[in-house]
Chains A and B, each alone.
Chain A
């Protein structure tokens, strides 16, 4: 144990307490609050572990979107019906977890192989081969920031499928609002009117978020940032504007909305097909244009991510079915 480990130990302890509370706090609203706080601690840990891309993403999601989502849930749901929130299989599950943890600890303490022979070893070089190859290929990728190069060039297929994940989740959400059935009792997510201070703040905050989002997108090619971080910030801005009533409802019947929802995936898929038909193969960007292609894919993806995420968080009957 060395003194420089102290902040890490504090963060770890804090994280464990938050996790425990988020699971087992007696009141569900406390559990939700602790879960949001958990997200903030995780963002701190990402920063501590030199992962600025992730810290940015986690902050945008954890502080912005998850908070609104859970608040919405707290308003819409009745209190827990079961005072006793544990299931019948409680002791079995507890036993299982204790045994699993003990086995893990025994491996950790006695076998020692978990760290020394496998994952962590100061003797031999453990740099993953995939990483070495990625580092070497970054100059040819069309962008300078390695994380962006991995996301949009080396593993572009993953990112294309990830945009589809967002889209499918939205497709699922739409099923919860059957068409032709107007739902009067829906609790439209909005802040109480009395919070004028909040709406005044929003007028300042939202443009700031939009500018920051644009900056993150632009910065993504050379430094931490990129489509996802920018998209989630923009989504948070849209959600805040919508909750304070400054943004009119988005309407699914508008072609522009549908176009911006599918734009990211459709454009990406079109690029993939075009490179397969006229180029050197599925998702093989032509060398000279790869930077340009990546930035245009990122712009479309940011738009889609922002709109889709905000619909996922606050979309109601009138947004999704009218």
Chain B
């Protein structure tokens, strides 16, 4: 086993672990974190594949940069959406939840 194999396996392991999280967790924030970890696992696979040759593959690096942009913008939007949704919940149920 060399480092590339290690990171390749690690990427798939992180992907599977967070997939399990996505399927079992209830809280939307945790689910969003799980999706982000799945993304990290995917990128880890891509970057370890890029490192197979002595000089890393610029194409895969460029693809990961693009993927990171997509991930951060979608995460930001999703997080704001979750927050807005839970605020709406609070006003709907008449503030039945614990007050901060």
Binding site for B on A (CB under 8 A): 1, 5, 8-9, 12, 15-16, 19-20, 22-24, 28, 31-32, 35, 38, 42, 45-46, 48-51, 53-54, 57-58, 61, 65-66, 69-70, 72-73, 76-82, 84-87, 89-90, 93-94, 96-97, 100-101, 104, 108, 115, 119-120, 126-128, 130-131, 134-135, 146-147, 149-151, 155, 158-159, 162, 165-166, 169-170, 172-173, 176, 185, 226, 228, 232, 305, 308-309, 312-313
Contact = CB atoms under 8 A, between A and B. Distances in A.
Given A120-B4, A165-B70, A69 B24 contact: no
B51 A50 contact: yes
B17 A28 contact: no
If over half of B's interface residues share one DSSP class (helix, strand or loop), that class is named, otherwise mixed; here it is: helix
Contacts of B59: 128, 130-131, 134, 150, 155
A89 B6 CA distance: 32
A32 B29 contact: yes
B12 A119 contact: no
Contact of B13 (A16, A42, A312): A16
A108 B9 contact: yes
B35 to A, nearest CB: 11
A22 B16 CA distance: 14
Of B30, B73, B81, B98, most buried by chain A (CB within 10 Å of CB) is B73
A283 to B, nearest CB: 15
A54 B9 contact: no
B26 A155 contact: no
B33 A312 contact: no
A151 B60 CA distance: 10
Contacts of A45: 7, 44, 47
Contacts of B23: 87, 89, 93, 96-97
